[in-house]
C-alpha cells in the first residue's frame, strides 16, 4: 500500500500467530500492521480449508447471498458474496445490476461476441483523499490510519480464454528484482578533466523504497512495453490536484520529481484486462513539470468521469520497449536516463534480457526475458542506516510482493444468452455447515411387477444432516426412463423420520428400462429442477414378461401323434429348452413366429351330398398320411376346379329353362358355365327399362322411344343403340359450368345435335355479337355477362354499328377481350353514358368506340373506363382502334374519352383518337345573329350551326354530304337573303375572343385535316403579297381568323349557285374553330405504366388524372431571368434527391399528339410557382419512376412531364403563337436527358424553351433546336 509506513514486517513463512505489546516498549506502525496481516492470513487459511484451495476447487459462492450472474431482462449481476482461494469479497446490494454499473469496476469495457464472465478479487488501499471519514475533525482534520478494501470486479474475456488458467491472466507478475545500495564516489573522471564534480549525499538513511509497474502494453505474459516507477517515500506523498500551481505545495510542482495524476477509477483499473476490444484502462503517462513540458497543469484522465483528480510524486520512472530492447524514456531525481553513458554514471541504463539501472542511491536489476508483468506489481525494500552500507543487497532476485489478483469463472454468454452448466455451477452454491443435508435410499428399489400394475411397495428416500433426520425437506420424484405415473405422498415432504415416499406405476411397455430419479429440492429454487441438490437417488423396476416364466409341455411322447407340438417342434423337440427348460416366451414365439398351416392337423369331416369334399377325391396333398390344414388348402388352391364346386340351379330354374331348351339343369359351376357358353343368347337376357328420372331430360331412353318400366329382351335395346342411336338422341349437359355462354343462354339447345348445329351457325370461337351472332346486340351481351359468373369474356364484334345506350360495368373479371372485324366495320356507339371494363387482362382490337349516336351528333357523355387490378399488375392491350367524341353540354358530367386506372401494364399501339369539345362562345361569335333572321336565312344558319356540331370521324361520307348540303343551301340564297345573312354577322364579337381560343392548336384537327388541296392554296392571312401557299397556310389560320371569317362572308356574297364546291373549305375552317381539343386518353396515376406507341391522337393525353375539376396541367409563369433559374436550381438540388419515391415506367414513341399534360393539384400548382419566385415550398407529387419521350410530334405547346428520370429525344414541337418567348414543355423531376429536340415557329427570333426543375440535366443536353432552362 502506498501509504506512510516504515516497513512491511510480516513474515508469513515463520507462522506467527499473534503480536504482543511489552510494557515500556515502543509500538510501531509495522507491529500493528503485522498483527492485522497475521489475523487476515489465519482467516484466509481457514477459508481455504472450508471453501477450497489451489489443490482443489479454488473458490465459489455460498448457497445464500451469493454473487452470481443471472438472466434478468438480459445478462445481469446479482450482488452477494464470493470466496476465492481463501479471500472473501462481496458486492453490496439487493437488486441486480447491469455490467456497466459496477461500483468496484467503473467504466468497464463493453462485452462483445461470445464471452466468459469472471470475478477479479484484489485489495486496494484507501486513504483520506478518497474517504473524508478517515480524517478526525476533532484532531483538526488530521488523518490517522489508512484502510484496505477487497474489490470484487466482474470482468469479461473471449470464450476461447480460460481466465483461471491462461498465462495471459497471471495473479501477479513473476519478474525477479534485485536492489543493491549504490557505491557512490565524488572523485573526478581522470579521462574527462572537463567533467564537473557533483556533491553526492553518501549517507545511507532510513526509508522504505518502492518499485512499481505503472503500465503494461500487450499481453501480461508477453508485453511489448512496460513502464516502471520508484519512490524512496513508498509513493505515499499524494495530494488533491488543485487547479493552479500557486495553490499546490512546493513538493508537487518541482522539476526534480516525476508526478502521477490519478483518481479512484484509474486506481481500480490496475490489473489485467482480457477484453478483445480497443478499450484501454483509465491511466495517464507519468509527467515531469519543466519549462519544456509547460509546467504544472491538471490533465483529464481518459475513460474516467470522477469529479476529483489526485497527484502522487515519484523519484523517477523508466519506459522500455521490450520487443526492440530500446529505452523509450526515463528520469531519476532530475537526471535523464540513458543507455549511452558509462555504466558507473548515475542514470545509466542497460536493456537486454535484464534491465539494469544506476539510480540516485541504488542499482536496480529486473529480469525481462519470458516474464509476466501486471500493472500494480510492486516490490518494497526497507533501508536502514544502522544495518546497511554501500553494496548491501536489499532485495535479491525476488518476485513482486503484490498486488495479488484472485480469479473465478462465473458464467458463459453465447449470442447474448447466459449458458447453463450445472456440473460447474455446483461450486457456486456451497451450503452452510447447518445445511449439509444428504439424500439416501430407504427402500423400494428393484421391484418386479406385471405390466400396467403399480409397484407393491412405495419408493422411499431419507434426508439427513449427519446422523440426524431432516423433517419437512422436499424431495422431487421424476420418471427418467420408461414412462408411467407417479403419486407423491404428502407432496414429497419428509416425515418425522426424514422419509419421503412415492408410489410408482411403470408404463406397460415390455423391454423398456424403468427408472425414477429422486432429488432433494433447493428451498431457494423450488420450481427449478436444475438447482436440485446432488447427487440424486435412482430407483429401478422390472416388468415381468413371458421370457421369465417356465413352461413344461404335456403332449403325448409318441412321435406319430398328429399334434401341433410334434408337427412344429419335430420328433426330438430339441429346438426349445436349450437351457434345460421351456419358457412361455419361447413357446409363444414359436406359435406366433413359426407356426404354419402344415403344423396344424386337420380331421376329414366326411361330407355327404353334392359338396366339394365329395367332388375332390383326395385331400392329402403330399400323400404323407398326415392330413394338415396345409394339405387341405393346397388341394383347394391347386386342384380345385369348377367341376368340383357344387351349384344349385333351383333358385333360377325358369331362367335355366330359357337357356337350356332340353330341360337339363347344371349341378356344378363347370356345367353352369358350359351351358351359358353353349346356349346363352341375347334373346335369353331380360332387361328392366328404367325411367331415368335422375338423368338429364331428355335421356337416351326417351330419344330411342323405349317405354320406361317395361321388361324387354336385351337384343331389342342393343339393336336400337346400334342401328337407330345418333347425336339427336344424346342429351346436352346444360349444368356444365364450362358451357359456352351462348349455348347456356339458348334453352332450346338440349341435345348434342342441336349444340353442334348451334355452333356451326355461329361464326367465331368467341361470343359473337351482331346480326347472326350469339347475341344480336352488345347491350344484350353486356347484360347477360353481368348476371353470370364468367371470369373470362371474349367477344367478337361482327361488322355493323353496335349501339350502347345505357351505362354498363363488367368488373372483377380475369380476362375481357373484345375484337372487331376492323375499326371501320365494327363500331361501338356510347350514346348516353360510360362503359367500364375491369379485369386482370383487357384486350381491345380492331374496333371503333365513338361517343355519340350514329348520326354523328355531339354528346354529354360517352366515355370508356379500363380498370386493372389494385393489388397486382394487370395487362391492358389496345391496338388498331379508333376513338372519337365531340363533347357538348354540362361540364359536370364530363369524363375523358378513355380513362385507364389501377395497377396496369399498358400497351396502347396504332390507335387513332379524336377528342374535341364545342365552344359555344366561339360558335356564337362566328354565326349570324339568329334573332335578326327569318325564313331561308334562319334555316341556312341553323343548318350551318348543326353542321358545326358533327363528328367527322363517325361517318365521313354523311359528314361530307351534309357539308355539301350546307354549302348548296347558302349559295342558293337570293341576293336579298344573302345581304340579310351577311348583315346579321357579329364580327365585333370575334375581336373580343382570347386569341388562345381560336389559334390553330385549339382547332379540331380532324376537321382541318379534311381541307382540300385547292382549299389549302386559297386561304391566306390577308397580308400583302401572301398568296397562302405551302406550309404557311397553317400559320395563316393561326394568325388571321377574323380575315378568314370575313372571307367566308365575302364568298357567300359573290359565289353563285354553281360555286358551292368552292365554299366547302371555308365552312371547314369555321367548323375547326368551333371545336377545341379535349382529353382523349387519361392515365389515373403512375401505377399505370407501359408504352404508348405509334398513335395519332387529336386531343390531349392526361397523366395523374384524378379529378379534372380540381387539377390543372403542370406549368409556371417565368420570364427566364437568371434569378428564376437559380431559384429553380437551388430548390431542385435541395429537394429532388435520388431517393425520391416514384413508381412505374412510361414510354411514348412515334406518336402525333396535341399535347401531354401531367396534372397537379391547385396547392401543388401554387407551390411550384412559389419555387420559381424563390420561396422554399413543399411539393407532393404523383410521379413516374422513368419516362421516355422519343420521336413524337406535338401540335401544341405547354406539354408537361413529371418523372424521377426522364428522356426527351428527337421530338418535334409545332406551334403558332407570336410571343417573344414560347414554353414548349415543363419538366419536373430528378434527372433529365434532352437530345435532338426541335421546334418551328413563325417568329424565328422568338425564345423557344423547355422549362425544367431538375436536380441534374446540364450534362445531358445535346443538339436541341430550342433552349432547356
Q: What is the pLDDT of residue 738?
A: 62
Dig out the grid coordinates for 668 from the structure: 356344378
Cell numbers representing residue 253 in the block: 510542482
Q: Report the 10 Å Cβ neighbour count for 182.
A: 19
CA distance 333 to 233: 13
pLDDT score, position 1148: 97
CA distance 1215 to 909: 25
Q: Tell me, rounded to whole angstroms, the distance of Cα 640 from its chain centroid.
A: 73
pLDDT digits 0-9 by tens, 426-478: 556 666 666 677 899 999 998 988 888 899 999 999 998 877 888 888 999 99
Shortest CA distance to 1070 belongs to which of 925, 962, 964? Answer: 925
First to last CA, the chain: 81
Predicted pLDDT of residue 378: 97
Q: How far apart are CA 927 and CA 990, in angstroms?
A: 10
The sign one gets for the Cα dihedral 76, 79, 80, 86 is positive
Place of cell 359450368: 737
In this prediction, residue 665 carries a pLDDT of: 86
What would the grid cell of residue 713 be?
A: 329382351
- In this structure, what C-alpha cell is assigned to residue 927? 354565326
**pTM flag (> 0.75):** no
CA distances from 541 to 446, 535, 538, 549 (A): 5, 20, 10, 17
Q: Checking DSSP bridges between strand 316-321 and strand 792-797, what pairing results, if any? A: unpaired
- Backbone phi, psi, residue 1019, to 5°: -85, 130
Q: Nearest to residue 75, comparing CAs of 408, 412, 409, 407?
A: 412
**CA–CA gap between residue 74 and residue 1047 (Å, rounded):** 95
Q: What is the largest CA-CA distance in the chain?
A: 166
Are 752 and 771 within 8 A, CB to CB?
no
> 10 Å Cβ neighbour count for 587?
19
When computed from its CA atoms, the radius of gyration of the chain, rounded to whole angstroms, is 58
Run of H or E residues at 743:
helix 741-745
Residue whose C-alpha cell reads 364346386 in the numeric block:
645
Which parts of the chain register pLDDT below 50? 55-56, 195-196, 423, 763-764, 999-1039, 1243
DSSP label of 278: S
Question: Beta strands 1261-1262 and 1221-1235: pairing type?
Answer: parallel
Sequence-ordered list of residues with C-beta below 8 angstroms from that of 193, at least 6 positions apart, any chain: none
Q: Strand runs (DSSP E) across 738-891, as ranges?
A: 767-769, 792-797, 800-804, 808-819, 826-830, 835-845, 848-851, 864-867, 874-879, 882-887
The three three-digit cell numbers of residue 1083, written as one number: 392515365
Question: Residue 795: what are its φ and ψ, rounded to 5°?
Answer: -120, 130
Cα of 488 vs its chain's centroid, Å: 50
Tell me the CB-side half-sphere exposure of residue 839, using CA atoms within 13 A.
21
Amino acid at each position: 500500500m502506498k501509504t506512510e509506513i516504515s516497513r512491511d514486517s510480516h513474515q508469513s513463512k515463520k507462522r506467527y500467530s499473534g503480536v504482543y505489546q511489552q510494557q515500556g516498549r515502543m509500538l510501531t506502525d509495522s507491529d500493528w500492521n503485522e498483527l492485522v496481516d497475521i489475523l487476515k492470513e489465519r482467516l484466509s487459511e481457514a477459508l481455504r480449508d472450508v471453501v477450497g484451495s489451489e489443490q482443489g476447487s479454488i473458490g465459489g459462492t455460498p448457497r445464500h447471498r451469493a454473487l452470481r450472474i443471472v438472466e434478468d431482462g438480459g445478462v445481469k449481476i446479482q450482488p452477494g458474496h464470493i470466496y476465492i482461494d481463501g479471500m472473501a469479497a462481496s458486492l453490496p446490494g439487493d437488486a441486480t445490476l447491469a455490467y456497466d454499473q459496477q461500483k468496484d469496476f467503473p467504466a468497464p469495457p463493453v462485452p462483445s461476441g461470445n464471452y466468459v464472465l469472471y470475478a477479479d478479487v484484489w485489495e486496494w488501499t484507501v486513504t483520506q483523499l478518497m474517504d473524508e471519514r478517515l480524517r478526525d475533525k476533532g484532531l483538526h482534520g488530521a488523518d490517522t490510519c489508512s484502510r484496505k478494501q477487497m474489490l470484487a470486479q466482474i470482468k469479461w474475456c473471449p470464450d476461447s480464454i480460460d481466465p483461471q488458467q491462461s498465462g495471459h491472466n497471471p495473479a501477479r507478475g513473476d519478474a525477479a528484482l534485485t536492489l543493491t545500495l549504490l557505491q557512490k564516489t565524488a572523485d573526478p573522471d581522470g579521462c574527462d578533466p572537463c567533467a564537473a564534480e557533483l556533491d553526492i549525499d553518501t549517507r545511507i538513511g532510513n526509508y522504505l523504497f518502492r518499485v512499481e509497474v505503472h503500465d503494461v502494453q500487450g499481453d501480461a505474459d508477453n508485453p511489448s512495453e512496460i513502464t516502471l516507477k520508484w519512490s524512496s517515500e513508498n509513493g505515499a506523498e499524494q495530494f488533491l490536484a488543485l487547479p493552479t500551481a500557486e495553490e499546490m505545495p512546493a513538493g508537487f510542482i518541482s522539476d526534480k520529481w516525476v508526478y502521477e495524476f490519478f483518481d479512484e477509477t484509474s486506481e481500480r483499473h490496475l490489473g489485467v484486462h482480457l477484453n478483445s476490444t480497443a478499450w484501454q484502462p483509465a491511466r495517464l503517462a507519468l509527467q515531469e513539470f519543466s519549462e519544456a513540458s509547460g509546467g504544472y497543469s491538471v490533465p483529464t484522465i481518459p475513460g474516467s468521469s470522477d469529479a476529483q483528480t489526485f497527484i502522487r510524486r515519484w523519484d523517477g520512472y523508466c519506459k522500455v520497449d521490450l520487443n526492440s530492447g530500446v529505452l523509450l524514456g526515463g528520469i531519476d531525481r532530475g537526471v535523464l536516463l540513458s543507455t549511452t553513458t558509462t555504466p558507473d554514471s548515475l542514470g545509466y541504463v542497460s536493456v537486454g534480457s535484464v534491465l539494469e539501472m544506476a539510480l540516485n542511491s541504488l542499482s536496480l536489476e529486473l529480469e525481462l526475458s519470458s516474464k509476466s508483468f501486471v500493472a500494480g506489481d510492486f516490490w518494497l525494500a526497507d533501508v536502514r542506516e544502522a544495518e546497511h552500507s554501500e553494496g548491501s543487497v536489499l532485495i535479491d532476485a525476488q518476485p513482486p510482493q503484490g498486488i495479488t489478483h484472485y480469479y473465478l469463472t462465473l458464467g458463459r454468454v453465447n449470442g447474448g444468452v447466459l449458458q447453463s452448466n450445472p456440473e460447474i455451477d455446483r461450486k457456486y452454491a456451497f451450503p452452510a455447515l447447518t445445511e449439509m443435508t444428504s439424500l439416501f435410499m430407504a427402500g423400494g428399489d428393484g421391484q418386479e411387477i406385471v405390466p400396467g400394475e403399480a409397484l407393491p411397495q412405495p419408493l422411499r428416500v431419507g434426508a439427513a444432516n449427519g446422523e440426524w433426520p431432516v423433517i419437512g425437506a422436499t424431495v422431487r420424484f421424476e420418471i427418467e426412463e420408461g414412462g408411467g405415473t407417479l403419486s407423491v405422498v404428502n407432496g414429497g415432504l419428509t416425515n418425522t423420520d426424514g422419509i419421503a415416499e412415492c408410489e410408482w406405476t411403470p408404463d406397460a411397455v415390455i423391454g423398456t428400462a424403468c427408472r425414477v430419479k429422486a432429488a432433494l429440492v433447493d428451498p431457494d429454487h423450488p420450481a427449478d429442477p436444475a438447482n436440485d441438490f446432488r447427487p440424486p437417488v435412482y430407483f429401478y423396476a422390472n416388468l415381468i414378461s413371458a421370457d421369465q416364466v417356465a413352461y413344461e409341455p404335456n403332449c403325448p411322447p409318441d412321435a406319430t401323434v398328429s399334434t401341433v407340438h410334434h408337427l412344429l417342434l419335430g420328433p426330438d423337440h430339441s429346438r426349445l429348452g436349450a437351457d434345460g427348460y421351456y419358457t412361455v416366451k419361447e413357446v409363444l414365439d414359436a406359435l406366433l413366429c413359426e407356426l404354419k398351416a402344415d403344423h396344424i392337423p386337420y380331421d376329414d369331416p366326411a361330407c355327404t351330398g353334392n359338396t366339394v369334399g365329395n367332388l375332390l377325391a383326395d385331400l392329402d396333398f403330399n400323400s404323407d398320411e398326415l392330413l394338415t390344414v396345409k394339405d387341405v388348402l393346397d388341394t383347394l388352391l391347386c386342384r380345385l376346379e369348377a367341376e368340383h364346386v357344387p351349384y344349385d340351379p333351383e333358385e333360377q330354374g325358369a331362367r335355366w329353362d330359357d337357356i337350356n331348351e332340353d330341360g337339363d339343369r347344371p349341378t356344378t359351376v363347370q356345367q353352369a358355365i358350359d351351358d351359358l357358353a353353349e346356349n346363352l343368347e341375347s334373346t335369353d337376357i331380360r332387361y328392366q327399362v328404367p325411367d331415368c328420372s335422375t338423368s338429364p331430360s331428355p335421356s337416351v331412353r326417351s330419344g330411342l322411344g323405349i317405354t320406361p318400366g317395361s321388361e324387354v329382351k336385351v337384343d331389342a335395346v342393343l339393336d336400337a343403340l346400334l342401328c337407330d342411336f345418333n347425336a339427336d338422341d344424346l342429351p346436352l349437359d346444360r349444368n356444365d359450368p364450362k358451357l359456352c355462354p351462348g349455348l347456356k343462354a339458348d334453352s332450346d339447345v338440349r341435345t348434342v345435335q342441336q349444340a353442334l348445329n348451334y355452333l356451326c351457325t355461329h361464326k367465331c370461337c368467341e361470343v359473337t355479337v351482331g346480326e347472326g351472332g350469339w347475341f344480336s346486340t352488345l347491350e344484350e351481351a353486356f347484360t347477360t355477362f353481368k348476371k353470370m359468373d364468367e371470369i373470362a369474356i371474349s367477344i367478337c364484334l361482327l361488322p355493323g354499328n353496335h349501339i350502347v345506350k345505357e351505362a354498363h360495368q363488367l368488373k372483377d373479371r380475369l380476362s375481357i377481350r373484345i375484337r372487331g372485324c376492323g375499326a371501320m366495320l365494327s363500331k361501338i356507339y356510347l350514346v348516353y353514358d360510360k362503359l367500364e371494363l375491369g379485369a386482370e387482362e383487357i384486350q381491345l382490337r380492331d374496333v371503333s368506340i365513338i361517343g355519340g349516336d350514329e348520326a354523328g351528333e355531339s354528346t354529354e357523355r360517352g366515355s370508356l373506363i379500363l380498370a386493372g387490378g389494385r393489388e397486382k399488375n394487370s395487362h391492358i392491350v389496345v391496338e388498331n382502334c379508333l376513338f372519337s367524341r365531340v363533347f357538348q353540354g354540362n361540364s359536370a358530367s364530363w369524363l375523358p374519352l378513355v380513362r385507364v386506372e389501377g395497377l396496369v401494364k399498358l400497351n396502347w399501339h396504332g390507335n387513332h383518337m379524336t377528342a374535341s369539345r364545342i365552344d359555344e362562345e366561339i360558335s356564337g361569335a362566328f354565326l349570324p345573329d339568329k334573332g335578326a333572321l327569318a325564313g331561308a336565312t334562319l334555316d341556312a344558319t341553323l343548318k350551318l350551326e348543326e353542321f358545326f356540331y358533327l363528328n367527322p370521324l363517325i361517318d365521313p361520307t354523311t359528314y361530307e354530304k351534309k357539308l355539301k348540303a350546307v354549302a348548296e343551301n347558302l349559295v342558293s340564297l337570293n341576293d336579298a337573303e344573302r345581304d340579310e345573312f351577311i348583315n346579321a354577322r357579329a364580327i365585333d364579337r370575334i375581336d373580343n375572343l382570347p386569341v388562345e381560343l381560336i389559334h390553330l392548336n385549339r382547332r379540331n384537327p380532324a376537321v382541318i385535316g379534311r381541307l382540300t388541296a385547292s382549299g389549302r392554296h386559297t386561304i391566306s392571312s390577308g397580308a400583302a403579297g401572301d398568296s397562302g401557299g405551302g406550309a404557311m397556310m397553317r400559320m395563316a389560320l393561326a394568325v388571321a381568323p377574323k380575315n378568314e371569317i370575313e372571307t367566308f362572308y365575302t364568298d357567300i356574297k359573290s359565289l353563285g349557285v354553281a360555286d358551292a364546291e368552292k365554299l366547302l373549305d371555308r365552312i371547314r375552317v369555321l367548323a375547326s374553330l368551333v371545336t377545341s381539343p379535349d382529353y382523349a386518353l387519361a392515365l389515373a396515376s403512375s401505377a399505370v405504366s407501359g408504352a404508348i406507341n405509334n398513335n395519332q391522337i387529336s386531343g390531349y393525353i392526361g397523366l395523374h388524372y384524378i379529378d379534372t375539376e380540381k387539377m390543372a396541367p403542370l406549368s409556371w409563369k417565368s420570364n427566364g431571368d437568371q434569378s428564376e433559374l437559380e431559384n429553380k436550381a437551388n430548390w431542385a438540388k435541395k429537394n429532388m434527391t435520388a431517393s425520391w419515391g416514384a413508381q412505374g415506367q412510361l414510354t411514348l414513341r412515334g406518336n402525333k399528339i396535341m399535347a401531354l399534360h401531367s396534372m397537379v393539384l391547385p396547392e401543388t400548382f401554387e407551390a411550384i410557382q412559389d419555387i420559381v419566385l424563390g420561396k422554399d415550398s413543399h411539393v407532393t407529387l404523383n410521379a413516374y419512376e422513368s419516362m421516355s419521350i422519343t420521336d413524337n410530334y406535338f401540335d401544341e405547346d405547354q406539354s408537361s412531364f413529371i418523372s424521377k428520370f426522364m428522356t426527351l429525344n428527337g421530338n418535334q414541337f409545332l406551334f403558332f403563337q407570336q410571343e417573344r418567348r414560347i414554353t414548349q414543355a415543363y419538366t419536373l423531376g430528378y434527372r433529365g436527358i434532352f437530345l435532338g429536340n426541335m421546334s418551328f415557329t413563325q417568329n424565328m427570333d422568338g425564345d423557344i424553351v423547355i422549362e425544367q426543375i431538375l436536380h441534374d440535366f446540364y450534362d445531358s443536353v445535346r443538339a436541341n433546336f430550342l433552349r432547356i432552362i
